[in-house]
Structure 1
Amino acid sequence: AMPYENLDHPGASGGSSNTGEPSMKMFTIWVLIAQAVGLLAVILTAVWMSVYHGGFSWVPERVFNFHPLFMVIGLVFLYADGILVYRVFRSVKKFRVKVIHASLHILALIFAIVGLKAVFDSHNLSKPPKPNMWSLHSWLGLTCVLLFCLQWVGGLIHFLLPQTPQSYRKMYLPIHQHWGVILFCMTTVTAITGITEKNAFHDDASKLPAWEKLSNTLGFVLGIFCILVVYIVRRAEYQRVEPPAEPDEEMTLQQPTDEEKTG
């Protein structure tokens, strides 16, 4: 496999320096498919919680329902879109794309934090209160949120602050790129474990109710979405094409900030 640090450099080994028209047509198709699948995952989550689990309200009986919806929106869908902006906006000035990337991921973090509060409130406000952090899903979920925070802060320090030396940016670049994809896969797997945990509360294993069919479908859709996003990011043909930069931009923005693609 081609190193991540070479993915968006024209002429890098493992891929053509030119993104031809047929390749870009397929890129557009793959991105549209990924977006459709990601939106489907969000819709399925909303239907699962609203139709089969009582809807959304910040009361002890229904506050939990915000948790799966906000986690899928934040740490799956928005996280993926933040990763893909370096592909989709490959001809836009890099600094602007970085701002979009960081903004999508801070929005994803906000959804994740509210989603965490929802699940803790659902446990703490129950009568009697339910224990927190007892399952593998909860351990994975909290780990994902903490690592996501570290990833975001690391990207901010190394790629958005002009005071950061170029040598540090170059050193941190492969770490940021690799962990961006790894953590996205981890959040998707964690979401699927959450579905499994929720389904485990079903008493009669001999029957498969409609809500469980829907939640199983949701898990399948989340897996497909993850595969599509990783595929798009890994294809060298879909590399970012750097727009012409002014000399001062070359010094202050372009050279130190090669972290396109993976958040």
Structure 2
Amino acid sequence: MATVTFSQVPLLFFARISGLLVAVLVLFWALSFKSSFLPRHSSSQEDQGLIYAALHPLFMVIGFILISGEAILVHRWLPGSRSLKKSVHLCLQGVALASGIFGIWTRFQGKDGIVANFYSLHSWMGLICILLFGAQWLMGFLSFWHRGEVRTVRLRLLPWHIFLGLYTYGLAVATAETGLLEKLTFLQTQRNVSKHSPESMVVNSLGLGLALVSGIVILAAVSPKYEALQTKPIYSTHTKKCSSS
């Protein structure tokens, strides 16, 4: 059974606390500032787009980023066999991928269509992130269900799998940051929202929260495991003298 080190417990705790803070902030933003997600001159028909516009940050932040971060941490806290951890990791990443695809789909439900919404750095990074995440998940799915591969091949691919997973997670957070900046710039220039308004403070706090939770998740993922430290041989001057005598 896997053991979590004492040093990892604070990381896991702060990862959950910061993730909860981010979830509360994005929910508060979407529910309390509904007018920010409506067209400037909105009609009753156009108001129906509020649902899709508000669902985009909810699914991309909570469904995609936070759940994928939890999937990364599965190997650090979940007890049981390696197969169980891999299956839970794969399922959580599948939920995150589905949330990301649906979140992007909601952005294309406006009257302007796909091309009009695919123009910014945020949209380009988002598409690249989803494609990388989908390829990463597919590779993990095939590896999980086809375990007859040569062990040396699997071991060679594992570092790349870990690297691409952390890179894609970091790219997702960076994409969300560009989206928040884009939205806040639009609100301040087109809607005359003050730079020191409550909504500006909420959006800025959400950006800082995402940066915090991503740093904690990545640090917890790359920190050494307890089992590895326990099995690592310890050499001392006394042992060297005994072996040489």
AA partner of residue 126 (structure 2): G
**What is aligned with 2:184?**
199
In 1, Cα distance between equivalents of 2:69 and 2:228: 17
Compared CA separation, residues 159 and 239, structure 1 to 2 (3 A): farther
Which shifted more, 138-147 or 199-208?
Answer: 199-208
Kindly state the Cα deviation for residue 123 of structure 1 after the two structures are TM-superposed. Answer: 5.0
**What is aligned with 2:18?**
37
Compared CA separation, residues 118 and 170, structure 1 to 2 (3 A): same
**What is aligned with 1:103?**
91
Which residue among 142, 148, 165 is the counterpart of 2:150? 165
Q: Tell me which structure has the larger Cα radius of gyration.
A: 2
In 2, Cα distance between equivalents of 1:138 and 1:80: 21
Which residue among 45, 48, 53 is the counterpart of 2:29? 48
**Number of aligned pairs?**
218
Compared CA separation, residues 149 and 240, structure 1 to 2 (3 A): farther
Which residue among 64, 67, 72 is the counterpart of 1:75? 64
State whether residues 34 and 50 of structure 2, in contact with CA within 8 Å, keep that contact through their aligned partners in structure 1. Answer: no
Kindly state the Cα deviation for residue 28 of structure 1 after the two structures are TM-superposed. Answer: 1.5
**What is aligned with 2:197?**
209
Compared CA separation, residues 237 and 102, structure 1 to 2 (3 A): closer
**What is aligned with 1:218?**
206
**What is aligned with 2:171?**
186
With a CA cutoff of 8 Å and minimum separation of 6, indicate the structure with the bigger relative contact order: 1
AA partner of residue 92 (structure 2): L
Unpaired runs of at least 5, structure 1: 1-17, 242-263
Instruction: Map Cα deviations across residues 126-161 of structure 1 (whole Å, 9 max, x no partner).
Output: xxx981210000000011011000000111122332
In 2, Cα distance between equivalents of 1:238 and 1:214: 38
2:165 is the alignment partner of 1:177: no
Secondary structure of the 1:39 match is helix
In 2, Cα distance between equivalents of 1:240 and 1:47: 42
Compared CA separation, residues 25 and 170, structure 1 to 2 (3 A): closer
In 2, Cα distance between equivalents of 1:239 and 1:218: 36
Question: With structure 2 as the length reference, what TM-score do the two structures score?
Answer: 0.80
Kindly state the Cα deviation for residue 36 of structure 1 after the two structures are TM-superposed. Answer: 1.0
Which residue among 152, 155, 164 is the counterpart of 2:137? 152
In 2, Cα distance between equivalents of 1:81 and 1:123: 35
In 2, Cα distance between equivalents of 1:49 and 1:240: 44
Kindly state the Cα deviation for residue 239 of structure 1 after the two structures are TM-superposed. Answer: 5.8
**What is aligned with 2:55?**
66
> How many percent identity over aligned positions?
29
In 1, Cα distance between equivalents of 2:160 and 2:103: 27
In 2, Cα distance between equivalents of 1:99 and 1:59: 38
1 or 2, which has the higher helix percentage? 2
Which shifted more, 146-155 or 202-211?
Answer: 202-211
In 2, Cα distance between equivalents of 1:122 and 1:240: 52
**What is aligned with 2:77?**
88
